[in-house]
Chain A
Amino acid sequence: MTRRASTTALRVAAAGVALLLSFPFYWMLLTTFKRTSDLYDLKNNPLLFNEAPTLEHWRFLFADTLYPRWVVNTLAVGAAVVVITLLLAAPAAWALARLTGKWGERVGIGMFLMYLVPPTLLFIPLSRVVALLDLQDSLWSLIVVYPTFTVPFATWLLFGFFRSIPRDLEDAALVDGLTRFEVFRRVVLPVSYSGLVTVAIFAFTLVLQEFVYALTFISSASNQTVGVGVPIFLVRGDVYYWGELMAACLFASLPVAIVYNLFLDRLVQGFTMGAVK
C-alpha cells in the first residue's frame, strides 16, 4: 500500500473509533428531545425522531426538579475549592520550583503521588472525620475535603509552569530591591497568569467529576452536587426518567468539554512530567 492509502485507512479507522466514543452523547442528545411516547415505543427506530421533538424534558428538569439547585451547589463548591487550592498550591509550587538540587524534583513528585491516593481508600476514615467535625450532610464537608486531591494536582501542574519561568526575571527583581514574597506576588504571579487560569479550570473540572465523597458525606437531596444528584435523586422510585436524565447529563458535560478542549495542551504537559515539552 502506498503511504497515502495507508494514512487514509488509518484515519478512517480512527474516525470510526471517534464516532463510537462520541455516540453515547449523540444518543443523549436524541433522547432529551424525544417525546416520552417516542422513547418507549419498541416499534420505533431509535435513531430517528419518529414524532416531533419536544422541550418537555428540559422544562421539567429545570422547573420541577432539584437540578438547578444542584448546579448552584456544584458551582459554589467549585469556586470555593478553586480559591483554596490556588492559595495553597501556588506558593508551595513556586517554593518547590526554586528549591535547588534534586530535592525540588523529589518533593514535587511526592506531592503528585498524593494525587494517586484514591478517594476510595480515604473515604471511610474521612467520613468519620466529617462526622467528628459535624459537617455531615453539608456542602462544607466537600469544601474541606476536595482540596485533598485538587491541591496535589494543582501543585504538580504549577510546579511545571513555574520551573519554566527564567530565573533571571526574578533575580532582576531581587536586585531591584523586592523581598522574596514580593517577587512571588508581583513578578511570578502576573507572568504565569495563563498557567494559573488553566490550573483553576482543571481543578474545577476535578470538582465537577467527583462522586465518591459527595455520595458518602451528603445524604439529603437538596444539598447534593450534580454528579451525585443526577444518578441518585433524579430517579423516582425504581423508575428512570431517561429524557430528563439525559438532559441533565448533557447540560453538565458539554460546557466542560468545550473549555477542556481549549486548554488541553497545558494539561498534558503537566501529566507527562515535562518529559514531553
Chain B
Amino acid sequence: MIAPAAAYVALLVGLPVLMSLFLSVSDARVGSETISFAGLTNFRSALATPAFRVALRNSFLFTAASQALVVAGATLLALALREPFRGRGLLRLLVLLPWVAPISLGAIGWKWLLDSLYSVVTWVLVALSLVSASNPPMWLGEPRLAMLSVLLVHAWRTLPFATMILLAGLSAIPRDIPEAAAVDGSGFWRTHFTITLPMIRPILLVALLFGVVFTFTDMTAVYILTRGGPADATQVLPSLAFFTGILGGDLAQGAAISLFLFPLLLAAAVALLRLARRAEDAS
C-alpha cells in the first residue's frame, strides 16, 4: 500500500535530484541534443562569478536576519494570544493573512506598497518629516534598501506560521506549572522567561527550522519584487539558478547553482530528525 506513493515520490523527487547532480557536471543547455561530461567546470565558474558570491551571501543573510525577526515577533504574538480575550479571534485571523495568501500575490502587494513614487510608507515618513518629499526612498531600486525590503517581506510572510506553532507549544504546557510558579512567588516576566519559554524551546526550534528552509529556498519574493536587482544586489541562490538555468538556458550551470542549497537542507533535516527523536524519548 505504500508502494504507489513511495514509487511516485522516489521517481519524481529522487530521480530529479540525481539528474540535478548529473546535469551539474555536464554541459547541458536547453534544447541541446547531446550532453557531455564537464567535470567541475560549472561549479568553478559559478564560484568565480560575482553574482554568485552575492547570491550565496544574500541567501544566508536574508534567512538569518528575517528569521531572527520572526523568532522575536512570533514569541511576542504567541505569548499575547495564549489566553482568550475579547477580539482574539480577529487578531488571529489578521496575523494569519500573510502566510495564507499565495507568496506571489503577497509579493505583488508589497511591490505596490513599496513603489518608489506612490508608496504609502514613503507618504507616512514624509508626513512625519523623516524623509524629504523631493527625494523619496527607492525601496526596491536602491541596493541596500532593496535588500532590506526583501528580507522584511520574508519575515512578514513566515511570521504567522511560527506564531501558530509556538501557540501550540504553549498550549501543551500543563496548567499547574505556571500556577506552581505563581505560588512560588514568581511574577509575570520571570515566569515567562525562566519557565514558559525554556519549556517550549524544542517547538521554537522546529518553527525556526521550517522558517529557515522556507526562506532559504524561496525565489518567488526576490523574483517578483526586484528580479534579483538592482544589478544582482538582491539575488539569492534559487533565483540565480532560475535566471541562469531557465531564462539563460544554461541548464548545467543552473543545476550546479541550485545544488548549493543542498548542504543547508541536509543540516536542517538532520536537526529536525534529532528533535523528533528527542521528543520521542522524552514522552
Contact = CB atoms under 8 A, between A and B. Distances in A.
B107 A268 contact: no
Contacts of B219: 120, 211-212
5 contacts: A14-B81, A118-B261, A212-B242, A226-B105, A276-B203
B269 A116 contact: yes
Interface string B57-90: 0000000000000000100110111010100000
Interface in A158-214: 184, 205, 208-209, 211-212
Given A92-B2, A268-B168, 9 more contacts: A18-B77, A92-B6, A120-B261, A124-B20, A127-B245, A129-B16, A148-B13, A184-B1, A264-B96
Contacts of B106: 24, 249, 253
A276 B251 contact: no
B196 interface: no
Contacts of B40: none
B102 A117 contact: no
B193 interface: no
Nearest to B106: A24
Interface of B: 1-2, 4-6, 8-9, 12-13, 15-17, 19-20, 22-23, 28, 73, 76-77, 79-81, 83, 85, 91-98, 100-113, 115, 117-118, 120, 123, 156, 159-160, 164-165, 167-169, 171-172, 187-189, 202-203, 206, 210, 213, 217-220, 223-224, 237-238, 241-242, 245-246, 251, 254-255, 258-259, 261-262, 265, 268-269, 272-273, 275-276, 279-280, 283
A184 B2 CA distance: 13
B105 A124 contact: no
B168 A276 contact: yes
Given A3-B188, A271-B206, A21 B105 contact: no
Among B13, B118, B241, chain A packs the most CB atoms within 10 A around the CB of: B13
A72 B34 CA distance: 39
Contacts of B85: 11
Interface string A212-254: 1001100000000011101100000000101001101100110
B2 A96 contact: yes
B9 A25 contact: no
A249 B109 contact: yes
Interface residues of A, number: 95
A73 B28 CA distance: 32
A33 to B, nearest CB: 14
B16 to A, nearest CB: 4
B120 A47 contact: yes
Contacts of A227: 102-105
Nearest to B164: A268
A253 B165 contact: no
A256 interface: yes
Contact of A230 (B8, B105, B202, B241): B105
Interface in A51-96: 87-89, 91-92, 94-96
Nearest to A252: B105
Contacts of B188: 1, 3, 6-7
A257 B101 contact: yes
Given A124-B254, A125-B255, A151-B8, A216 B246 contact: yes
A275 B202 contact: yes
Contact of B168 (A25, A45, A272): A272
A116 B104 contact: no
A123 interface: yes
A269 B171 CA distance: 12
Contacts of A40: 118
B259 to A, nearest CB: 7
A119 B28 CA distance: 20
A116 B213 contact: yes
Contacts of B1: 91-92, 94-95, 184
B118 A228 contact: no
A120 B1 CA distance: 30
B96 A117 contact: no
Contact of A272 (B22, B80, B206): B206
A151 B188 CA distance: 44
B224 to A, nearest CB: 5
Contacts of B167: 268
B97 A231 contact: no
A264 B164 contact: yes
Contact of B101 (A88, A114, A253, A276): A253
B9 A118 contact: no
Contacts of A109: 272-273, 276
